[in-house]
Amino acid sequence: MDFQFYMPVKIISGRDCVLKNAKLFTSFGLRALIVTGKSSAKNGALSDVENALGESGCAYKIYDRIPPNPTVPSVREGAKLAREFGADFVVAIGGGSPMDAAKAIAMLARQEDGGDIFSYKSTGEVLPLVHIPTTAGTGSEVTPYAILTNDEKQTKTSISAPAFFPRVAFLDGKYMRGLGQETTAYTALDAMSHAMEGMLSVRAGALSDVLAKESLRLLKGELGALCAGVYTDEDRDVLLYAATLAGIVIANTGTCAVHSMGYSLTYFHGAPHGRANGLLLPEFLAVCAKRLPDRTREILRAAGFASCSDFAAAIAPLLGERERICDETLSAYAEKASVNKNIKNCQVFFDKDDLFRVLKRSVGRG
């Protein structure tokens, strides 16, 4: 049995785990840059980190100017602050945007040369990272990827390096108590997409399959709460755990055509990343079911569905009214997706025509 699997992140899960492990922060230094969005001041995560750093004797600066889809100027600004402050490490609090941005900031703080960030050959010279997710979907707390807005190419582009793996990830579902319904639902769809795409990756293996199937089982169990929009603390903990499992999957497998197509829906139409994935995933799986039926059935069975149509019907309430986009525009999006590196990562090859058909059936006008 041939496979490779790598996961260097120390994961600490449980209620108040940040405060209970405050002394761990000093193992990375005594000066921290906190990278976050505005919501962490409201959900209690920022307060817990400030208290933990204070208890540990760590000085800190807060950088909270990360937009919903991180931009290159925002990460350069954050890196400049890190250098000026003399940060020893970076603490990321939030959803995918602050966590991804923190990785780029940690790199630029050590490797700034004014060049194109998307062509950087990152070395190990990256500030240590501590990640605290406050949404359950992206899995960035356990991946070596940072997804940034690429205005030159009018899409989102991934940069990655082994050094982008956080040293520690703290999982505490209490930070999701005030999360809006759309964000909760869309991030859950993102996690589901990670698990499913991970199983269809050419790099899928025995261990990644085990984690993907467990993530899908847990997410199916939360579908009732997701559709009702009513969550217990246990629901939030399970969603966060499932998202982290799916993150570990794609850390080893990468993603496939769903992400390639979804970037245009986010860049040009403002569709949240998880929503974009959810819109496209059923039709993507329908193509896979025709060309790789056994594997697709295995994925659907793990997720608790009998068919692609059953799956589509189950997640439809989470998506509401769909975006409707004309054929000419979708053809351009298919062209963009066809040259994305994720396309070659799928066990089922999607050419431009395949991508267009999935887009049209998912968000086409006719």
pLDDT at 267: 95
Residues 95-105 pLDDT 10s: 999 999 999 99
Fold of 180-363: Dehydroquinate synthase-like, alpha domain (1.20.1090)
Q: Where in the chain is the domain with CATH 1.20.1090.10?
A: 180-363
Selection from 213, 262, 203, 201 nearest residue 242 by Cα: 213
Burial 260-293 (b: 16+ CB within 10 A, else e): bbbbbbbbbeebbbbbbbbbbbbbbbbbbbeebe
**Res 113: pLDDT:** 65
Question: Would you state the CATH architecture of domain 10-175?
Answer: 3-Layer(aba) Sandwich (3.40)
pLDDT at residue number 38:
80
- In the chain, where does DSSP find H-type helix? 17-20, 40-43, 45-56, 72-85, 96-111, 181-200, 206-221, 223-228, 233-253, 257-269, 273-291, 293-302, 308-319, 327-338, 352-363
% the chain with pLDDT above 70: 99
Residue range(s) in the chain whose domain bears CATH number 3.40.50.1970: 10-175
pLDDT for the residue numbered 114? 61
The pLDDT tens digits of the residues spanning 315-329 come to 999 999 999 999 999
- Amino acid identity, position 62: I
- The per-residue pLDDT of the chain, averaged, comes to 95
Q: What is the pLDDT of residue 40?
A: 77
Report whether pLDDT(337) > 90: yes
Least confident of 118-132, 232-246, 268-282: 118-132
DSSP summary character for residue 44: S
pLDDT at 119: 81
In angstroms, rounded to a whole number, what is the distance separating the alpha carbons of residues 295 and 298? 5
Instruction: Report the alpha-carbon distance of residue 304 to residue 249 in Å, rounded.
Output: 19
Check residues 113 and 314 and name the one with the higher pLDDT: 314
Residue 251 pLDDT > 80:
yes
pLDDT in tens, 269-298: 999 999 999 999 999 999 999 999 999 999
Prediction pTM value: 0.96
pLDDT of residue 226: 98
Is the per-residue pLDDT at 185 higher than 70? yes
Q: Is the pLDDT of residue 34 over 80?
A: yes
Half-sphere exposure of 45 (CA within 13 A, CB side): 29
pLDDT digits (tens, 9 = 90+) for 128-168: 999 999 999 999 999 999 999 999 899 999 999 999 999 99
Q: Write down the pLDDT at residue 124.
A: 74
pLDDT at 175: 97
Which pLDDT score, from 0 to 100, does residue 125 have? 86
